[in-house]
Amino acid sequence: MSCEKYLKIAQEVREELIKKYGTVRGKCQLAIQLLYKKGLRGVPLSIYFKHPSRREWSSHLVFVTVDLCVIDPTAGQYGYAPLVYPLEDIKKYYNPIAFDIPPKSFFIGKPYTIAEDRLRDYLYMKLQEMGTYPKEKYQELWERRYIK
């Protein structure tokens, strides 16, 4: 499974954001909209992780395709992540501790297709196997451990 086939699309989206806004910083949601408009099928994935150079937590939005490739057109904001990489490598670049999968309608006003809905379910299972919890579950674990 090679994710390189998505590299050109990721570069186009990145260049479009830079051309229009002068930066990719804080443009994750716009990048997801552009990927959907280019006809890609997949789901947005919001990851929560410890920021490498600050004390607080950060969140970042990436796009996961139906063949489990992560497209990250705004990569580089938080470290050295490439524009495209396999889902298994997400821990190498961000080491997320929690995740959320927002509804597709938030970005383009359409519901998930059947394939995207199945991908969403699979991601919930796969990310938990990798040691990353859904945001709600992580919050519950955090409160149980630290707030008594």
Residue ranges per domain, the chain?
Answer: 4-146
The 3-state secondary structure of the chain, one letter per residue: CCCHHHHHHHHHHHHHHHHHHCCCCCCHHHHHHHHHHCCCCEEEEEEEEECCCCCCEEEEEEEEECCCEEECCCCCCCCCCCCEEEHHHHHHHCCCCEEECCCCHHHHCCCCCHHHHHHHHHHHHHHHHCCCEEHHHHHHHHHHHHCC
What pLDDT band is residue 17 in, cutting at 50, 70 and 90?
very high
Statement: residue 84 has pLDDT above 90:
yes
Higher pLDDT, residue 50 or 18: 18
Residue-level pLDDT at 148: 41
Residue-level pLDDT at 147: 46
Higher pLDDT, residue 137 or 39: 39
Residue-level pLDDT at 143: 60
Higher pLDDT, residue 83 or 145: 83
Mean pLDDT of 126-132: 89
Residue-level pLDDT at 7: 94
Mean pLDDT of 34-48: 93
